[in-house]
Amino acid sequence: MCDEQMAQEERHMQHGLSLVVVGGNESGKTSVFNTLLGQGGPQDGQRTVNCMKRDGHLRERRLTVVDTPGWWKDYLLIDTAERTKRELVLSVQHCPPGPHAFILTVEIGKFTEKNRRAVEEHLGLFGENIWKHTIVVFTRGEVLRGKSIEQHIESEGEALGWLLETCGNRYCVFDKQTRDQNLAIQLLDKIEKVEVSNSSRHFELDEKTLREVEEKKRAAQERASERRLKVEEERNQVKGEGQIQLLAEVRIVMLGWVSCGKSSAKNVILNRKEHAARNRTKRCEKEAGLVGNRHVTVVDTPGWWKYFDAQYTPHWVKAELERSVTLGSNSPHALLLVVPADVSFLEEQRKIIQETMKIFGEMAWRHTLVLFTWGDRLGSTSIEEHIESEKPLRWLVEKCGNRYHVFNNVNRGDGSQVHQLLEKIDEIEASVSSCALTPEAPKTEVKESPKEAEEVRPEIVELLDEQWNRMDKELEEKIRTMWQETLS
């Protein structure tokens, strides 16, 4: 080894390395994080919702490693919540002046073109220079079962090939069965090669981009504080009028798009066990139970498609929505509009909800409360900050009179979150007790039952359930044509 190389290695040993771990949810980011730094970190499988920094040493190198929130593997950037995008971008601030390398975790398995685009778009938040600093770490290497990683890469085709080529073909494999310091040292060797190839320069995020993200976060936090105060004042005013009475019987209707978590929220309210696999709700389903000393009735309803205009909602879904508020001898006290708190809320979703709610008439908004599911995925971010980060969501919450509530889907047995929800429904009833809720729209003629619709065109359900890729205009036109043929 020449003197110049020895001197360079000596310099490397004298300063620390800063790393940022990025990747999809459940891709093994936290496992890699802990392997690099040893025990003492978060548990594997525990979802990272806010950036987390730890310091440690490996082979006499001082390491600063930042774990980041993930994105859903099949979701493009537009579907990721704004607060998650901000956390990703601001991760570089946790290791000033910037990271030497990004570790991109990819779980071994099917890697589709949509997965590739999701990675490209999310890493694109950092700018083009990120690829020069990125190493791919394949996780769950145990599933290869004797097959080499190169054989796996070859079998996956163009999508994975593009990713590795863009990252300079820098990659290694981690598995749970042999997770030890040897794996960490192998990764460290590759990180040091990235460091050398970039002349030990840190990754630098565009200052303008960083300032814009910081300003958006600051503004959202300020508006969030204002909203919390406003909601508290409004609730205190209702309580001060002395009109609130605890309802002995509470009647609820659940509304929302397909797979938003309506049925899961119903089970939380009624303290029922969650079924591991459940088919889509196709008819109104009415269930009742005791919650404390209250008799609570919950009507679950079929969902509408998240990405399609209300005009494409099947007639049988609209008919079931109309029927949902007439199932009992009395109208419901509240409509719970279920919205997941772990994804974005776009203008198109706002328009679809606004149009769908016309089924119940304008007065329905006075009975409606937004119920956020997966509140555990907010981390230290308040629900108000999430609301303020998504402009269309602000409109929805305000249309509902600033009535909203959050369910933690992990602590399902936490009865306090249900009792607090029922208290808010008591407040709704005190405000609108003289206004019964009945559908104002003309009765929808049911042209087909759910079963008939699926028998006629089962491929429609399959395509839509796979999360429509809205960027693909050719697919969009194809599905619209299929719907028009079915509904005509």
For residues 143 and 252, membership in a common domain is answered with: no
Q: Specify the range with the lowest mean pLDDT, choosing from 25-39, 123-137, 341-355.
A: 25-39
Closest C-alpha among 71, 88, 56 to residue 24: 71
List, in sequence order, every residue forming a beta bridge with 139; answer none if it has no partner.
107
Question: Is 479 part of any domain?
Answer: no
The total number of structural domains that make up the chain? 2
Instruction: State the average pLDDT over residues 117-130.
Output: 97
For residues 358 and 250, membership in a common domain is answered with: yes
**Structural domain ending residue among the three candidates 431, 451, 467:** 431
Instruction: State the average pLDDT over residues 349-360.
Output: 97
Instruction: State the average pLDDT over residues 270-290.
Output: 84
pLDDT for 467:
45
- Count Cβ atoms within 10 A of the Cβ of residue 302 and give its class: 0-12 exposed, 13-18 middle, 19 or more buried: buried
> What are all long-range contacts of 210-219, with beta carbons under 8 Å and residues at least 24 apart?
210/89, 210/90, 210/92, 210/93, 213/86, 213/89, 213/90, 214/90, 216/82, 216/86, 216/389, 217/86, 217/90, 219/388
Label residue 126 by pLDDT band (50, 70, 90): very high
Q: Tokens representing 426? A: 């008591």
For residues 186 and 115, membership in a common domain is answered with: yes
For residues 40 and 176, membership in a common domain is answered with: yes
For residues 268 and 398, membership in a common domain is answered with: yes
Residue 447: is its pLDDT beyond 60? no
For residues 335 and 415, membership in a common domain is answered with: yes
Q: Tokens representing 108? A: 């071994």
Q: Tokens representing 320? A: 């079931």
Question: Is 210 part of any domain?
Answer: no
d(CA 400, CA 421): 15
For residues 313 and 411, membership in a common domain is answered with: yes
For residues 176 and 263, membership in a common domain is answered with: no
Question: Is 232 part of any domain?
Answer: no
Q: Which pTM value belongs to this model?
A: 0.86
Q: Determine what percent of the chain is predicted with pLDDT higher than 90.
A: 69
d(CA 369, CA 203): 45
Residue 466: is its pLDDT beyond 60? no
Residue 227: is its pLDDT beyond 60? yes
Closest C-alpha among 122, 24, 113, 3 to residue 72: 24
d(CA 484, CA 470): 18
Note whether 335 and 253 are within 8 A (CB).
Answer: yes
pLDDT for 474:
47
Task: Encode pLDDT of 165-207 as tens digits.
Answer: 999 999 999 987 665 678 899 999 999 999 999 999 999 999 9
Question: Is 458 part of any domain?
Answer: no
Residue 39: is its pLDDT beyond 70? no
Q: What's the domain range around 83?
A: 14-205
Position 306, amino acid: K
pLDDT for 304:
96
Task: Encode pLDDT of 322-332 as tens digits.
Answer: 999 998 778 99
Question: Is 226 part of any domain?
Answer: no
Question: Is 483 part of any domain?
Answer: no
pLDDT for 242:
76
For residues 199 and 77, membership in a common domain is answered with: yes
For residues 182 and 323, membership in a common domain is answered with: no
Q: Determine what percent of the chain is predicted with pLDDT higher than 70.
A: 82
Print the SS3 string covering 292-322: CCEEEEEEECCCECCCCCHHHCCHHHHHHHH
Q: Which residues contact 430 (CB under 8 A, 6 or more apart)?
A: 238, 241, 243, 244, 245
Q: How many CB atoms lie within 10 A of CB 413?
A: 9
For residues 184 and 262, membership in a common domain is answered with: no
List, in sequence order, every residue forming a beta bridge with 209; answer none if it has no partner.
none
Residue 412: is its pLDDT beyond 50? yes
Question: Is 466 part of any domain?
Answer: no
Closest C-alpha among 61, 160, 152 to residue 114: 160
For residues 298 and 171, membership in a common domain is answered with: no
Q: Which residues contact 50 (CB under 8 A, 6 or more apart)?
A: 69, 87, 379, 380, 381
| CATH number of the domain enclosing 247 | 3.40.50.300
pLDDT for 452:
44
Q: How many CB atoms lie within 10 A of CB 471?
A: 12
Question: Cα-Cα-Cα-Cα dihedral of 338, 344, 345, 347, to 10°?
Answer: -160
Q: Tokens representing 8? A: 């360079």
